């Protein structure tokens, strides 16, 4: 028994010793090259954020990184009014609320419509289902900038309608929410369809046997199974809404409807008189919510594989 244990414990050492020296050198060189590539790509990004942080807490930085005088004056937009060009913002918090409403509205609509449409494309049999599935991918392929004039005309037409025009038309947060959601839904529906495809029919049939209608089976039985997929779609929709700039810049005119992306654009102005300290602080503040959102939801993303859920 003792001799067998000695042979078993010595076997791995023997196997390692048999690996050719050239193969070990090649493996180590591959690892070193991979780490060097990761560091090389990451360094400019890390340096950029370090500069941004140092610039936001100082009146001046030396050599790009060393703060000369530590101050919170650049963060004054959080508690006092800020004058940007000809416009004065008494407080940034209405802008933050607009941004949260916009990102939250896009997230709610994208999740609601994509889960319903993904379920229909995956489970229901109707004429043209295959063509409609292909069309969802084609719709996402269109660059949004090519639709600006058409979308502007639609929002302008809605804006002239009494009562609902000021709410859902041009120069309205909710009007742009519907536009952004409509452009995000095709890709989200296609992603969610992949999660519905992975659910065995037995689970759905068991719900019908228990007396559930199709809508009840969708809500009570199937949706809990694809929670990681719903979470991933919600995360991407929120980040898309939070970082949206082009449609807001094109369709929003009044300062009361501005979001943080437009606020940062106002700080940049025409690049002639830029307060880089204030701009850096506002940019960092703009990044904090999506960063926290990602940190608290990354477990759901890590459980997702392309077209399904890991066990």
The DSSP secondary-structure symbol of 82 reads: E
So what's the pLDDT on residue 310? Answer: 46
End-to-end Cα distance, the chain: 40
Per-residue pLDDT of the chain (311 residues), as tens digits, is: 444 444 444 445 445 556 778 888 888 888 899 999 999 998 988 888 888 888 888 887 777 677 778 888 888 888 888 876 667 777 888 999 999 999 999 999 999 999 999 888 888 888 888 888 888 777 777 777 888 899 999 999 999 998 888 888 888 999 999 999 998 898 898 888 888 888 888 888 888 888 888 888 888 888 888 888 888 888 889 989 999 999 999 999 888 889 999 888 888 876 667 788 888 888 899 988 888 877 777 776 666 554 444 44
So what's the pLDDT on residue 99? Answer: 94
Class of residue 51 by CB neighbours under 10 A (exposed 0-12, middle 13-18, buried 19+) = middle
Structure tokens at 310: 């890991």
So what's the pLDDT on residue 2? Answer: 43
Class of residue 308 by CB neighbours under 10 A (exposed 0-12, middle 13-18, buried 19+) = middle
Class of residue 143 by CB neighbours under 10 A (exposed 0-12, middle 13-18, buried 19+) = exposed
């Amino acid at each position: 028994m003792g001799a067998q244990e000695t042979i078993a414990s010595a076997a791995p050492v023997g196997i390692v010793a048999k690996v050719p020296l050239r193969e070990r050198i090649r493996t180590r060189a591959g690892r070193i090259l991979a780490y060097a590539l990761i560091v090389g790509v990451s360094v400019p990004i890390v340096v950029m954020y370090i500069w941004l942080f140092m610039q936001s807490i100082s009146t001046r930085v030396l050599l790009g990184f060393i703060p000369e005088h530590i101050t919170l004056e650049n963060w004054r937009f959080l508690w006092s009014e800020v004058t940007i060009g000809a416009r004065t913002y008494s407080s940034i918090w209405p802008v933050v609320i607009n941004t949260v409403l916009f990102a939250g509205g896009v997230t709610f609509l994208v999740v609601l419509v994509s889960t319903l449409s993904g379920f229909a494309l995956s489970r229901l049999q109707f004429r043209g289902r295959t063509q409609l599935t292909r069309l969802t991918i084609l719709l996402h392929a269109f660059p949004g900038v090519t639709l600006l004039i058409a979308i502007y005309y639609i929002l302008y037409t809605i804006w002239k309608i009494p009562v609902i025009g000021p709410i859902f038309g041009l120069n309205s947060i909710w009007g742009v929410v519907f536009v952004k959601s409509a452009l995000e839904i095709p890709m989200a529906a296609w992603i969610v369809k992949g999660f519905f495809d992975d659910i065995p029919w037995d689970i759905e049939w068991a719900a019908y046997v228990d007396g559930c209608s199709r809508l009840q089976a969708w809500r009570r039985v199937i949706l809990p199974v694809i929670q990681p997929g719903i979470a991933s779609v919600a995360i991407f929709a929120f980040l898309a809404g939070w970082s949206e700039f082009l449609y807001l810049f094109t369709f929003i005119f009044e300062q009361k409807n501005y979001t943080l992306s437009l606020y940062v654009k106002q700080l940049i102005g025409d690049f002639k008189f830029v307060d880089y300290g204030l701009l850096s602080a506002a940019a960092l503040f703009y990044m904090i919510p999506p960063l926290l959102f990602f940190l608290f939801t990354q477990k759901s993303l890590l459980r997702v594989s392309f077209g399904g859920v890991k066990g």
